[in-house]
Structure 1
Amino acid sequence: MTFGVDAKGVYPIAATPFNADLSVDYDSVDRLTEFYQDAGATGMTILGILGEAQKLEPEESLTIARRVIARSRVPVVVGVSNPSFAVMRRLAREATDAGAAGVMLAPASHLRSDEQIAAYFHHCVEAIGPDVPWALQDYPLTLSVVLSVPMISRIMKEHPSCVMLKAEDWPGLEKISAIRKLQATGDLRKFSILTANGGLFLDFEPERGSDGAMTGYAFPDMLVELDRLHREGERDAAHDLFDAHLPLIRFEQQQGIGLAVRKYVLMRRGAITSDVQRSPRSSLTPTGRSEVDYLLERLARKDPRARL
């Protein structure tokens, strides 16, 4: 299975489940894989920031990748960003050999100048191989690296193997429009744009030209329905659905505890057994959990998927 410049739809960013003893919960990895597919996901993205990839041993990452790919009926994109190009190379090559559709690369946080950024992605593509399709992650809020529209254009021109932009700058609506304008005039080649930021701006991103979502909101089935409504031109229905979920989406976006909220909801939905994280980690207080429960109860009045 492959993905490319025409990729559309919803590629949920998968969490990585852990047992109470902090070992990888492979049974929950299997269940979560089915959960995303049953939700109607177009593809899956694993071992990203949400997936706590930086807390995994290289062998754990490889085992998770092989396990998800083996169970998946949809394209799987594997996050391979790593300070070591050797580790990046091994994960990228072994994941694609196992059947991954492609990989995702993010800029290293120490990069500042455009020349440093350009050189870094040259070395990344050299490491993974020019035959491996990849998605460029643009996430300055967490990675502290600013990818301007001209810089993104340069990366896309220099690396035909980059088939997708994971757009999660904030604000990012005008950035999407600027990229699509360059493509419309023939000044920039075609590539897919999937958006993230927890889905916080999915009410307007499709109208600006995004092709779908690549984010980790704990209701991927809602993301699939929202994407369908946008594609069918049901603008008011799409905004109504988004507005119903917005309080929970906003709660998930809190700095520091966002992953704790997301894992807690996934646990409540039966997708994973435990919401435990590896260190450095955050956790919900009993009050925080009760607030999430309250938001789920209110959401269930408008969307029965939240009736847990």
Structure 2
Amino acid sequence: MTLDATAAGVYAIAATPFLPDGAVDYASVDRLTDFYLGCGVTGLTILGIMGEAPKLDPAEALAISERVIRRAGVPVVVGVSAPGFAAMRALTHGVMASGAAGVMIAPPPTLRTDDQIVTYYRQAVETIGADVPFVIQDYPLTLSVVMTPTVIRTIVMEHPSCVMLKHEDWPGLEKISALRGFQREGSLRPLSILTGNGGLFLDFEMERGADGAMTGYAFPDMLVELVARARAGEREAAHDLFDAHLPLIRYEQQQGIGLAVRKYVLQRRGAIAHDAQRAPAGVLSAAARGEIDYLLGRLARVDGRALV
């Protein structure tokens, strides 16, 4: 199940379940994996920003990865971003030996120029090995690193092991069009583009040429349906479905508490036992929980999956 440029569909960004005392909830790791599979996802992406990866120690990161990979039966991409290359190398080699499909690498926030970005990925590939398929994580809103389409093309063309872009720029629709334009003119080889940002622009991202989604919205089953409808050319049905979920998608996108919202909804849906995060973490007030419950109730009028 090695990742390649034909990857499409929905790769759910997985949360990392914790117990109220902050320990990893391994029983809920299994439970959540089964939940995602039941939603029909194409693959899973673990240890990303949503997965609270920086809060895990190396042993926990590897243990979680091995557990999900053994259970999933679908391609699993593992986030290996780290402040130093030694940690990136160790985790990459560990998860690939366990059967991961590939790894995801985000640029560190210190990068500012195009040359710095290209050099960083060159060094990262030297570190993990040119035989390891990798995903570029392009998330300037959080990482503060701006990658132009030309820079992305340079990285992709320099490294055959770069098979996917996790596209989370905002605004980013024109970037997708630019990259697909490069492909049409022959200056960019095939590249899978899966989009993030909680699915906030997925309706039009699919129309611009995205292959699917790689995000953590708490209704991955809706994302699966939306991507399928969009790929089938059912534009109105895809937009109607998206519009029904948009209020909750928007609520999830709040800086500081977005992950708390997602974990609360995942708990409500029975996917995890607790909505706990490992400190430091945002906390939902009673008022916020009431608002989420209200949004779920409104959504349930048109989508029975929200009846929780």
TM-score normalised by L of structure 2: 0.99
| Superposition pairs of residues 39-118 of structure 1, within 5 angstroms | 39-118=39-118
Aligned to 1:11, the other structure's residue is in SS state: strand
Other-structure match for 1:173: 173
Deviations along 1:206-263, one digit per CA (max 9) or x if unpaired, are 1100000000000000000001100111100000000000000000001111000000
Q: Check conservation: 2:203, 2:238, Cα contact below 8 A.
A: yes
What TM-score, normalized to structure 1? Answer: 0.99
Shift of 1:278: 1.2
The amino acid that maps onto 2:169 is D
Paired position in structure 2 for 1:129: 129
Aligned equivalents of 2:203, 2:81: Cα separation in 1: 29
1:212 corresponds in structure 2 to 212
CA–CA separation in structure 2 for the residues paired with 1:199 and 1:114: 27
Looking at structure 1, the residues matched to 293 and 234 of structure 2 have their Cα atoms a distance apart, in angstroms, of 30
1:36 aligned partner: 36
CA distance in 2, matches of 1:140, 1:223: 23
Matched, 1:146 2:146: yes
Q: Which runs of 5+ in 1 are unaligned?
A: none
* CA deviation after TM superposition for structure 1 residue 93, in Å: 0.8
Conservation of the 8 A alpha-carbon contact between 2:62 and 2:94: yes
**Identity rate, percent:** 67
Looking at structure 1, the residues matched to 83 and 176 of structure 2 have their Cα atoms a distance apart, in angstroms, of 28
Gaps of 5+ in 2: none
Whole-Å separation in 1 of the counterparts to 2:34 and 2:221: 12
SS in 2 for 1:2: coil
- Asked whether the 8 Å contact 2:22–2:279 carries over to 1, the reply is no
Matches within 5 A, 1:5-16: 5-16=5-16
- Runs of 4+ in structure 1 displaced over 4 angstroms? none
Please give the alpha-carbon distance, in whole angstroms, between the structure 2 residues aligned to 1:86 and 1:96: 16
> 1:129 & 1:12 partners in 2: Cα distance?
25
* CA distance in 2 between partners of 1:261 and 1:210 (Å): 26
The code of the aligned residue for 1:214 comes to: M
Structure 2: distance between partners of 1:99 and 1:25: 22
Report the Cα distance in structure 2 between the residues aligned to 1:231 and 1:10, rounded to whole angstroms: 12
Alpha-carbon offset, residue 117 of structure 1? 1.0
Alpha-carbon shift at residue 158 of structure 1 (Å)? 1.0
Match of 1:162 in 2: 162
Secondary structure in 2 matching 1:103: strand
Number of aligned residues: 308
Which shifted more, 121-130 or 243-252?
A: 121-130
Q: CA deviation at 1:294?
A: 0.3
Give the alignment of 1:135-284 within 5 angstroms.
Answer: 135-284=135-284
1:301 Cα offset (Å): 0.3
One-letter amino acid of the structure 2 residue matched with residue 111 of structure 1: L
The separation in 2 between residues aligned to 1:20 and 1:262, in whole angstroms, is 16
1-structure distance, mates of 2:124, 2:5: 19
Cα deviation digits, residues 78-99 of structure 1 (max 9, x gap): 0000012111001111101100
Deviation at 1:3, TM superposition (A): 1.7
